[in-house]
Amino acid sequence: MSTERVTIRHVAHSAGVSVATVSRVFAQSSSVSEELTARVLDAARRLGYTPHAVAQSLASGRTRVVGVLVPNLANPYFYALIKNMLHEADRDGYRLIVADSDESLAAEPALGMSLLGRSDGLIMLSPRCGSEVLKELGGQGKPIMVVNRQIDELGLSSVLLDNFTPMRQLAMHTVELGHRHLVYLQGPVRSWQEKERWRAMRSLRVPGVTVTPIRAGGTMENGRDSADRVLATGCTAVLAHNDLTAIGLIAGLNEHGVSVPGDISVTGFDDIPFARFTSPALTTVHSPQEDIGRATWRMTAGLLHGDRPGARTMLTTQPVIRASTAPPK
């Protein structure tokens, strides 16, 4: 039995076309008719031919790879988004390569350029960099997709979650329970989501209700380390920027012998998988990570196939009330 490797020349001979035509078919060129495409693909199936990925990329000028830049891969929120996008991309025959900027403004531009140099496009999850950097990345001639950052003036496509409305609803939930002195644990300074959530807290105009901001960050360590400052305010309810900060704060309060929600109510944002399994289960805002991931890839795929940039998808959500909030004593 022959062990000769099937090559593109064998496929061309079997299909009765030139080697160049076979190359164009596997590069998904629109210049080849449907009839010739069908003949080539049929011949390839019969012969068991699989195109070499690197050669195919060189021929088409496409890698079928998309870069993803994330500010903190350790955050389960971003991990969930990436996992959902991976499944969607795989169904379309694409792979994702991921880089973590570790919340570094200085790292984002170089990482973005590096990913663009090795891929067909770039997805930026909650970018922290300035508009000038996004403009430079968008000027590289490849699709750029932005998640959780409103940047209408640059004409980049984006997927956003309405952070303002549910954050305000969450704050009103604590007010309706009877809390009058609230603390808001602020997240990363350059986060668009942080700005929207803090804007919602500032919008509260309820007589007798005060909101004290405390700069924390976005990690469990940040939340735990803020416990002393929270207790110094004398507040009865804390609304944290995200679930990780809230979970860390609960741990820090427990170390001080402070009960949640017996002494202080605590809320988060994002509804990461850990949120429902904390003790007590965390009141938070559900972020539809599957929907965000699906919408992000769908719009990215459209850009890769020639859709005009600048479209925006806004998703909505609402609070999830659990056991970490209760009326004040």
Q: Are residues 155 and 295 in the same domain?
A: yes
Q: Are residues 124 and 181 in the same domain?
A: no
Burial class (CB in 10 A: 0-12, 13-18, 19+), 128: buried
- Domain containing residue 35: CATH number: 1.10.260.40
**36-48 average pLDDT score:** 88
Q: Given its phi and psi angles, is residue 181 left (phi above 0), alpha (psi -120 to 50 degrees) or beta?
A: beta
pLDDT for 1 beyond 50: no
pLDDT for 59 beyond 80: no
When mean pLDDT is compared across 29-33, 166-170, 204-208, 317-321, the lowest value belongs to 29-33
Q: For residues 264 and 283, what is the distance between their CA atoms, to the nearest angstrom?
A: 13
- The residues facing 160 across adjacent strands are 314
Strands (E) in the chain, as ranges, are 65-70, 95-100, 121-125, 144-147, 157-161, 181-186, 210-215, 237-240, 265-267, 284-285, 312-315, 319-320
Q: Is residue 127 part of a domain?
A: yes
Q: Are residues 137 and 192 in the same domain?
A: no
Residue with token string 């299909």: 15
- Domain containing residue 143: CATH number: 3.40.50.2300
Q: Are residues 239 and 181 in the same domain?
A: yes
Q: Is residue 56 part of a domain?
A: no
Q: Are residues 170 and 283 in the same domain?
A: yes
Give, rounded to a whole angstrom, the gap between the first and last alpha carbons of the chain.
Answer: 84
Q: Are residues 261 and 302 in the same domain?
A: no
Q: Is residue 173 part of a domain?
A: yes
Q: Are residues 283 and 294 in the same domain?
A: no
Q: For residues 3 and 105, what is the distance between their CA atoms, to the nearest angstrom?
A: 54
Q: Is residue 323 part of a domain?
A: no
Q: Is residue 2 part of a domain?
A: no
Q: Given its phi and psi angles, is residue 103 left (phi above 0), alpha (psi -120 to 50 degrees) or beta?
A: left
Q: Are residues 212 and 143 in the same domain?
A: no
Query: What burial letters (b/e) apply to 25-56, b meaning 16+ CB within 10 Å?
Result: bbbeeeebeeebbebbbebbeeeebebeeeeb
When mean pLDDT is compared across 21-25, 75-79, 87-91, 174-178, the lowest value belongs to 21-25
How many domains does the chain fold into? Answer: 3
Question: How high is the pLDDT of residue 23?
Answer: 73
Q: Is residue 327 part of a domain?
A: no
Q: For residues 84 and 167, what is the distance between their CA atoms, to the nearest angstrom?
A: 24
Q: Is residue 117 part of a domain?
A: yes
Q: Are residues 129 and 32 in the same domain?
A: no
When mean pLDDT is compared across 24-28, 35-39, 99-103, 286-290, the lowest value belongs to 24-28
Q: For residues 128 and 134, what is the distance between their CA atoms, to the nearest angstrom?
A: 10
Q: Are residues 181 and 149 in the same domain?
A: no
Q: Are residues 40 and 105 in the same domain?
A: no
Q: Is residue 3 part of a domain?
A: no
Task: Domain of residue 87: give its range.
Answer: 65-161+289-316
Q: For residue 225, which phi and psi values (nearest 5 degrees)? A: -70, -15
pLDDT digits (tens, 9 = 90+) for 95-133: 999 999 999 989 999 999 999 999 999 999 999 999 999
Q: Are residues 195 and 213 in the same domain?
A: yes
Task: Identify the residue with better confidence: 191 or 9.
Answer: 191
